[in-house]
Amino acid sequence: MPAPADPKQRFMAVIQRNVVNPVARRFTSHALLETIGRKSGLARITPIGGRRTGAQFWFVSEYGERSQYVQNIKANPAVRVRLGGQWYPGTAHLMPEDDARRRLLSLPRINSAGVWAVGNNLLTIRVDLD
């Protein structure tokens, strides 16, 4: 079980849930990750920043296994990713062996800067798109 969220993570979660995520969901150019809630069984949509490379989509979770969507992935790795307004089914893989800070250098700069600034337990995630 992941450690409880620290005060900075709790604060950022409130900002992301109430301000950033509702705005980002409205832009078709923003990548979205859909997981299935491990407790509710309902679809959960989270704006993410990452990059498609061939049949894979790479991104970094700023809070690693403490992120709710990562907990959902662990329970059910079947996900969907929205890219350019189109949904793609895939299978998510946690990549703890990957150097997440190095990975951020190859991902979109604005999102990577935010993840780097607020993150405290970075974790790379790869989605193999079907």
Predicted confidence (pLDDT) per residue in 18-63, tens digit = 665 555 545 555 899 999 999 999 999 999 999 999 999 999 999 9
Query: In whole angstroms, what is the distance from residue 59 CA to residue 42 CA?
Result: 23
Q: Report the topology of domain 7-129.
A: Pnp Oxidase; Chain A (2.30.110)
Identity of residue 80:
R
The strand ranges marked E within the chain are 32-36, 43-47, 50-53, 56-61, 78-83, 86-95, 123-129
Q: Which residue has the tokens 């990549």?
A: 95
- Report whether pLDDT(2) > 60: no
Global confidence as pTM: 0.80
Question: What is the pLDDT at residue 6?
Answer: 74
Q: pLDDT, tens digit, for every residue of 75-124?
A: 999 999 999 999 999 999 999 999 999 999 999 998 899 899 888 899 99
Q: Where do the structural domains in the chain lie, given as residue ranges?
A: 7-129
Amino acid 111: pLDDT: 87
What six digits make up the tokens of 126? 């790869």
